[in-house]
Amino acid sequence: MDVTQVFGKNVFSDSVMRKVLPNNVYKSLKETVEKGIELKADVADVVANAMKDWAIEKGATHYTHWFQPLTGSTAEKHDSFIEPSADGTVIMKFSGKQLIKGEPDASSFPSGGLRATFEARGYTAWDTTSPAFLKEDASGDVTLCIPTAFCSYTSDALDKKTPLLRSMEAVSKHAMRIMNAMGNTATKRITSTVGPEQEYFLVDKDLFDKRLDLMLAGRTLFGATPPKGQEMEDQYFGAIKDRVLDFMKDLNAELWKMGVSSKTQHNEVAPAQYEMAPVFATTNIGADHNQLVMETMKKVALRHGLVCLLHEKPYAGINGSGKHLNWSLATDDGMNLLDPGNTPHDNAQFLVFLSALIKAVDENADMLRRSAANSGNDHRLGANEAPPAIISIFLGDELTHILEAIEKGEKASSKGSNFIKIGVDALPALPKDNTDRNRTSPFAFTGNKFEFRMVGSAASVSGSCVVLNMIAADAFDGIATRLEKAKDINKETTSIVKEIMKKHGRVIFNGNNYSDEWVKDAKKRGLPNIKSTVDALQTLTSDKSIKMFEKHAILSKRELHARYDIYLEQYAKQINIEALTALDMVKSQYLPAVMEFVAQLAGDISTLKDISVSTKVQSELLNKSISLMESASKKVFDLEKNLEKAQGISDVSKQAKAYRDKVFTAMGSLREDIDSLEAITPRDLWPVPTYADLLFKL
Ligand code: ADP
Ligand code: MG
């Protein structure tokens, strides 16, 4: 494969547009993309027509507005280009109007009450900043996909893209103010960037099909601990199996065609777990691409007789999957604002942005935590495999040392072999490569970007990007105002850094985030430790949250309340599905299997008794099986009772709490008995594949 030829071949990219669009149309569209100037109708018509011709030449018959409703996945409704003519034939047509706006019936998407059922119309609006692309399926069918935002008749956002675009504007605006106040006139635009590292599991499709829990809940609800797990540490970065490599090869090819820059692939820590990382992009395109990554992983896996599991915790007792969100800010003239740089001038700028982020994260740790909350992630956060639910920042010794020196007003500091001068006026030359790594930190500075490591593997990255952009914008806003008024920029810069370190230095922690001592230490520091999704979601509609979202025009109070309801409902629904699936499996698979075993044993015992042979072993096993079965039956009843109660609660918040405290707990207790039964029941009678099968038969 000639990757350079394949890459982006299905993208209506800048270079394609330059080729197929008349010069004035191309320029006009570019202005819309870069300056947000409204697109003229005649320009849209020309673009639409060119897009259609390009797509048809590549085999497309249909187009779709591609959007990201609050389900967390993507949605598409395909329309063909055909338009009947009077003579009974058809022509292929695509107008500017069709490109710019769609009107899907939105009544079946989550709206949290924003869209009354009598006004079921929703609107999709073309996002000109994310290029249109073609999706190809296995049989070669091609569909033109137009990335769009999705809102209600009353213009409330019903999707993940709209707030993301708004947050990008906010962060850009206030970051620019800082740049201007610090004397930078060359930079015209700033964009937030993201590179999400995607973890996932693969499992054999035939085995997957035998597990109702994997099929319906995305995770195993039962399964005894296998003799081997991840303790040999032989999986991480290990040689990749041929079957998996074949899958990765196909996955890359599909992603590259759509312009997704899949770059890194490797085995992850758990058996049958892998990771893929792209080259970073602007947060908007990065978020679109991550959705494509997840979707394409699932699709391509099936072509290889595999199923891709994106759930945060498919298997108990084994590492789950997350998504490390690498985030930074880029300027249109090629700067990375989180790159320490070489000169004191760059460094003043860097230190201002860095300390602004320290302030932002400390003040809004609850919001950041909330952005990573979902029922799947509750299994990971704080479970010694993923960062704890406590947000802290890892800066590495060197940067921490420098910031602390500034805080204390020290003029110079030496550390290691590099002598770092810290002047009050001229800030120091900083180490360019911060090679320190701390794998346990939820928010780590990794050289020239921050890595937010809490996000779940199945989640859309948009929510966390929105919060990162917004809290950054908010901190930048306050600092910009000070700098704009300052008579002496250097002095003001130094005092800003100093003040932030005094007030927010508590959020910096370079030690082991998995340790119990840290949990205690963090408590002393006053850092929040929000353990569950239900609690985390409460911060979405807190006064602070509403004020900030509204101030930066990212989401209104109405929109936030709608999201709060939707996310809590999703949480409750997920656990409801899990509970029903668990009950189904126990009643129709596990208990009948154990009953069969019990009957077999009883038969054996009576036969053996006839010939006066000892039945000690069989009797013990029989008694153990029966007592576990009785216990499990009681727990089935218990789970059913709790489930019914939870289902009857109408207040979303109370209902979600009941699912967490009662239903989830009852499910876990039932699992214990079933897993114990698995350990003593003959393999050929056990009705579903075991953990060893699922994790090692690949
Ligand atoms: P590691 O696992 O060591 O952190 P990886 O190479 O797996 O490193 O992933 C790093 C990710 O960070 C990649 O997706 C990369 O594109 C992304 N990244 C690098 N620079 C930036 C940046 N300036 N902004 C956002 N993401 C970035
Ligand atoms: Mg990585």
- pLDDT per position as a tens digit, 517-561: 999 999 999 999 999 999 999 999 999 999 999 999 999 999 999
Residue 344 binned pLDDT confidence (cut-offs 50, 70, 90): low
Ligand nearest to the CA of 452: 1
Q: What does 584-613 look like in DSSP terms, one character per residue?
A: HHIIIIIHHHHHHHHHHHHHHHHHHHHTT-
Residue 432 binned pLDDT confidence (cut-offs 50, 70, 90): low
More confidently predicted of 490 and 216? 216
Give residue 375 CA to ligand 2 midpoint distance, Å. 23
Ligand nearest to the CA of 323: 2
Give residue 323 CA to ligand 2 midpoint distance, Å. 9
Query: In the prediction, which pLDDT does 420 show?
Result: 45
Ligand nearest to the CA of 264: 1
Secondary structure (3-state) at 102: strand
CATH number of the domain encompassing residue 147: 3.10.20.70
Q: How buried is residue 602: exposed, middle or buried, by Cβ count under 10 Å (0-12/13-18/19+)? A: middle
Flag whether pLDDT at 421 surpasses 90: no
Task: Confirm whether 7 is domain-assigned.
Answer: yes
Q: Are residues 524 and 577 in the same domain?
A: no
Give residue 449 CA to ligand 1 midpoint distance, Å. 8
For residue 403, what are its two tokens?
A: 């910031």
Atom of ligand 1 nearest to the CA of 196: 14
Q: Are residues 546 and 613 in the same domain?
A: no
Give residue 279 CA to ligand 1 midpoint distance, Å. 7
Task: Confirm whether 246 is domain-assigned.
Answer: no
Residue 418 binned pLDDT confidence (cut-offs 50, 70, 90): very low
Query: In the prediction, which pLDDT does 447 show?
Result: 87
Give residue 197 CA to ligand 2 midpoint distance, Å. 6
Flag whether pLDDT at 513 surpasses 60: yes
Q: Are residues 499 and 542 in the same domain?
A: yes
Q: Are residues 140 and 37 in the same domain?
A: yes
Atom of ligand 1 nearest to the CA of 326: 26
Give residue 530 CA to ligand 2 midpoint distance, Å. 25
Task: Confirm whether 330 is domain-assigned.
Answer: yes
Residue nearest atom 7 in ligand 1 by C-alpha distance: 277
For the beta carbon of residue 608, count every other beta carbon within 10 angstroms: 14
Burial readout 680-698 (b: 16 or more C-beta within 10 A, e: otherwise): ebeeeebbbbbbbbbbeeb
Q: Ligand 1 pocket check: which of 268, 269, 449 to mutate, most ligand atoms within 8 Å of Cβ?
A: 449
Q: Are residues 147 and 177 in the same domain?
A: no
**Cα 233 to chain centroid, rounded:** 26
Task: Express as a percent the part of the chain with pLDDT over 90.
Answer: 81
Q: Please count the structural domains in the chain.
A: 3
For residue 520, what are its two tokens?
A: 């205690």
C-alpha triplet 271, 274, 279: angle, nearest 5°? 165
Give residue 445 CA to ligand 1 midpoint distance, Å. 11
More confidently predicted of 434 and 32? 32
More confidently predicted of 363 and 387? 363
Task: Confirm whether 213 is domain-assigned.
Answer: no
Task: Confirm whether 130 is domain-assigned.
Answer: yes
Q: What is the mean pLDDT of residues 167-194?
A: 96
Flag whether pLDDT at 425 surpasses 60: no
Smallest CA-to-CA distance from 356 within 109, 537, 177 is with 177
Q: Are residues 499 and 390 in the same domain?
A: yes
Q: What is the mean pLDDT of the chain?
A: 92
Residue 405 binned pLDDT confidence (cut-offs 50, 70, 90): confident
Task: Express as a percent the part of the chain with pLDDT over 70.
Answer: 95
Identify the domain boundary among 522, 554, 586: 554
Least reliable range by pLDDT among 6-10, 197-201, 214-218, 227-231: 227-231
Burial readout 483-506 (b: 16 or more C-beta within 10 A, e: otherwise): beebeebbebbbbbbbebbeebbb
Smallest CA-to-CA distance from 573 within 445, 668, 660 is with 660
Contact 289, 197 (CB under 8 A): no
Sequence length of the chain is 698
- Distances in Å between the Cα of 77 and the Cα atoms of 48, 63, 143, 171, 587 are 18, 8, 10, 33, 39
Q: Are residues 527 and 578 in the same domain?
A: no
Query: In the prediction, which pLDDT does 430 show?
Result: 62
Contact 225, 691 (CB under 8 A): yes
What is the extent of the structural domain holding 357?
166-197+323-415+437-554
Query: In the prediction, which pLDDT does 671 show?
Result: 98
Q: What is the mean pLDDT of residues 134-141?
A: 91
Q: Ligand 1 pocket check: which of 199, 266, 280 to mutate, most ligand atoms within 8 Å of Cβ?
A: 280
Give residue 459 CA to ligand 1 midpoint distance, Å. 18
Could you tell me which residues come within 8 angstroms of residue 148 by beta carbon, excluding any fewer than 6 positions away?
65, 66, 67, 102, 124, 125, 126, 127, 161
For residue 591, what are its two tokens?
A: 């208990």
Give residue 229 CA to ligand 1 midpoint distance, Å. 29
For residue 68, what are its two tokens?
A: 């990201």
- Distances in Å between the Cα of 369 and the Cα atoms of 12, 302, 372, 533 are 36, 34, 6, 9
Q: Which amino acid is at 266?
A: H
Atom of ligand 1 nearest to the CA of 277: 14
Task: Confirm whether 423 is domain-assigned.
Answer: no
Smallest CA-to-CA distance from 164 within 74, 67, 284, 32 is with 284
Q: How buried is residue 461: exposed, middle or buried, by Cβ count under 10 Å (0-12/13-18/19+)? A: buried
Residue nearest atom 3 in ligand 1 by C-alpha distance: 446
Q: Are residues 591 and 620 in the same domain?
A: yes
| Secondary structure string (H, E, C) spanning 211-257 | CHHHHHHCCCCCCCCCCCCCCCCCCCCCCCCHHHHHHHHHHHHHHHH
Give residue 131 CA to ligand 2 midpoint distance, Å. 27
Query: In the prediction, which pLDDT does 416 show?
Result: 44
Ligand nearest to the CA of 195: 1
Query: In the prediction, which pLDDT does 402 show?
Result: 84
Give residue 488 CA to ligand 1 midpoint distance, Å. 36
Identify the domain boundary among 527, 554, 581: 554
Secondary structure (3-state) at 645: helix
Identify the domain boundary among 104, 137, 159: 159
Contact 350, 494 (CB under 8 A): no
Euclidean distance between CA atoms 250 and 2, whole angstroms: 14
Euclidean distance between CA atoms 273 and 558, whole angstroms: 40
Flag whether pLDDT at 426 surpasses 80: no
Q: What is the mean pLDDT of residues 448-461?
A: 96
Flag whether pLDDT at 622 surpasses 50: yes
Ligand nearest to the CA of 268: 2
Q: What is the mean pLDDT of residues 157-164?
A: 95
Flag whether pLDDT at 71 surpasses 70: yes
Flag whether pLDDT at 414 surpasses 50: no
Query: In the prediction, which pLDDT does 388 show?
Result: 83
Contact 398, 547 (CB under 8 A): no
Token pair 């029941």 is at which residue? 681
Question: What are the φ/ψ torsions at residue 267 (nearest 5 degrees)?
Answer: -70, 140
Atom of ligand 1 nearest to the CA of 275: 7
Residue nearest atom 23 in ligand 1 by C-alpha distance: 328
Query: In the prediction, which pLDDT does 500 show?
Result: 97
Q: Are residues 379 and 477 in the same domain?
A: yes
Residue nearest atom 5 in ligand 1 by C-alpha distance: 277
Smallest CA-to-CA distance from 94 within 54, 58, 134 is with 54
Torsion angle in degrees (nearest 10) through CA of 519, 524, 528, 534: 60
Q: Are residues 596 and 533 in the same domain?
A: no
More confidently predicted of 344 and 254? 254
Euclidean distance between CA atoms 607 and 681, whole angstroms: 20
CATH number of the domain encompassing residue 617: 1.20.120.1560
Residue nearest atom 14 in ligand 1 by C-alpha distance: 195
Contact 687, 311 (CB under 8 A): no
Smallest CA-to-CA distance from 145 within 240, 211, 195, 79 is with 79
**Sign of the alpha-carbon dihedral angle for 201, 381, 261, 60:** positive
Report residues whose beta carbon is within 6 angstroms of any ligand 1 atom.
Answer: 193-195, 197, 264, 277-280, 326-328, 336, 446, 448-449, 451
Query: In the prediction, which pLDDT does 417 show?
Result: 38
Give residue 464 CA to ligand 2 midpoint distance, Å. 18
Residue nearest atom 17 in ligand 1 by C-alpha distance: 195
Expressed in angstroms, the distance from the first to the final Cα of the chain is 26
Task: Confirm whether 244 is domain-assigned.
Answer: no
DSSP H/E element including 421: strand 418-421
Atom of ligand 1 nearest to the CA of 446: 4
Q: Are residues 574 and 549 in the same domain?
A: no
What residues does the ion ligand 2 have nearby, CB within 5 Å? Answer: 197
Ligand nearest to the CA of 322: 2
Least reliable range by pLDDT among 226-230, 231-235, 637-641: 231-235
Query: In the prediction, which pLDDT does 304 show?
Result: 97
Q: Are residues 108 and 132 in the same domain?
A: yes
Could you tell me which residues come within 8 angstroms of residue 81 by beta carbon, excluding any fewer than 6 positions away?
52, 56, 60, 61, 62, 63, 92, 93, 94
Supply the Cα-derived Rg of the chain in whole angstroms. Answer: 28
Task: Confirm whether 62 is domain-assigned.
Answer: yes
Atom of ligand 1 nearest to the CA of 197: 14
Ligand nearest to the CA of 199: 2
Contact 480, 174 (CB under 8 A): yes
Contact 54, 16 (CB under 8 A): yes
Euclidean distance between CA atoms 114 and 155, whole angstroms: 10
Q: Which amino acid is at 407?
A: E
Q: Ligand 1 pocket check: which of 197, 329, 350, 353 to mutate, most ligand atoms within 8 Å of Cβ?
A: 197
Give residue 197 CA to ligand 1 midpoint distance, Å. 8
